[in-house]
Structure 1
Amino acid sequence: MPKRKLLFTAALLAGLLNPLVSQAQQTTELPDSHALGTSPQWLTTKVYIEGAADVDVKDKYPGVVGISMWDPNRNRYEFFYPDTGLSKYEQGGGGYFLVTGDRNTHILVPDKGPHRSIVRRLEALNNEEFTYSREVPRDMLETNENVRIYVVHAPYKGPIKTTRTH
């Protein structure tokens, strides 16, 4: 019996003297969906095709251009037209989103519209930039071959104020 008491006391002391921090593995902080909540609004600042980062093609991809709002606490998003601030919700511009655990994929699940879900590769996500890429038909014409577009956003500080409808 005294031997057990001694072992138990030694184990207890070893645990108390060895800080818990040394037991945990240190992890590198990765961006997550909460970075989207660091700005009330995000504006598409550039769209480019893979391999041609110096050529902005926003005019050929108006469907991905706009102001967006993200609510990481509810995992909800909504998109707005950049010229009027009106919601794109009825056209599939609102619903749920998630960022996968590996922080590589951003998935949209619209409440309405023609798409069930939209899967995008997460390129950058922090409080200064949100960039994703995805494959779409060139110039958004269904008969064209697919290209990978990169859609770059920055926190929006302009005059248009958007209001969530859902």
Structure 2
Amino acid sequence: MQKNNITSTLLLAAALLCPLGSFAQQAPATGDARDLASSPRWLTTKVYIEGAPQTDVKDKYPGVVGISTWDPERNRYEFFYTDTGESKYNNGGGGYFFVTGDKKTHVLVPDVGPTKAMARRLETLNTNEFTYSREVPRDMVNNNPLVRIYVVHAPYTGTVVTKSAIKPNSDTH
């Protein structure tokens, strides 16, 4: 019995000296998914590789560049080409999204296309900037080594009209 008392006393002392809160990690101050609604459309402004934020490599990663719309009320997204405003929906550029409760991951679930779901690390999300990162093959060429790219967006204020491929009164096409 004495051994149990000593063990209990040591556990209680450890709990008092190291409260559970000290072990918890705080979620980054990245904002809330509703911040995506602060702009009706977002534009990719920069793409850079981890460790080289001064070098914009948008031309090497055209698949992640464009105009996007986000509807946090319905958790729907759609991507568009920056030059024509045409939708990328039929190539996996539209569907559902959510931000995990810890605000660290942004998940896309396309309605159509070969990709089933894509998790992206949420770096910044506020009314002025939406940045995510993910690992992709260098220069988006299969069999190249993986690199982490950062895709930066700002509210879009340009004149390109986007043409949605999603029917307005339905959640899927």
Count matched residues: 139
Q: Deviations over 1:12-43 (max 9, x none)?
A: xxxxxxxxxxxxxxxx9761110001101000
Moved over 2 A (4+): none
SS at match of 2:157: coil
Structure 1, gaps ≥5 residues long: 1-27
Q: Against the structure 1 CA distance between its residues 91 and 69, is the aligned structure 2 distance closer, same or farther, given a 3 Å change threshold?
A: same
* Letter paired with 2:137: P
- 1:82 match: 82
2:143 pairs with 1:143: yes
Q: Distance in 1 between matches of 2:46 and 2:30?
A: 24
Larger gyration radius, structure 1 or structure 2: 1
* Letter paired with 2:56: D
Structure 2, gaps ≥5 residues long: 1-27, 167-173
- 1:112 match: 112
- 1:20 match: none
State the shift of 1:161 in Å: 2.0
Q: Distance in 2 between matches of 1:151 and 1:30?
A: 15
Tell me if structure 1 keeps the 8 A contact 2:86–2:164. no
Tell me if structure 1 keeps the 8 A contact 2:30–2:124. no
Q: Deviations over 1:101-142 (max 9, x none)?
A: 000000000001110011100000000000000000000011
* Letter paired with 1:82: T
Q: Against the structure 1 CA distance between its residues 53 and 29, is the aligned structure 2 distance closer, same or farther, given a 3 Å change threshold?
A: closer
- 1:34 match: 34
SS at match of 1:63: helix
Tell me if structure 1 keeps the 8 A contact 2:37–2:70. yes
- 2:170 match: none
Q: Distance in 1 between matches of 2:165 and 2:148?
A: 31
**Aligned-residue CA RMSD in angstroms?**
1.3
**TM-score, scaled to structure 2:** 0.78
- 1:59 match: 59
Identical aligned pairs, as a percentage? 68
Q: Distance in 2 between matches of 1:33 and 1:105?
A: 11
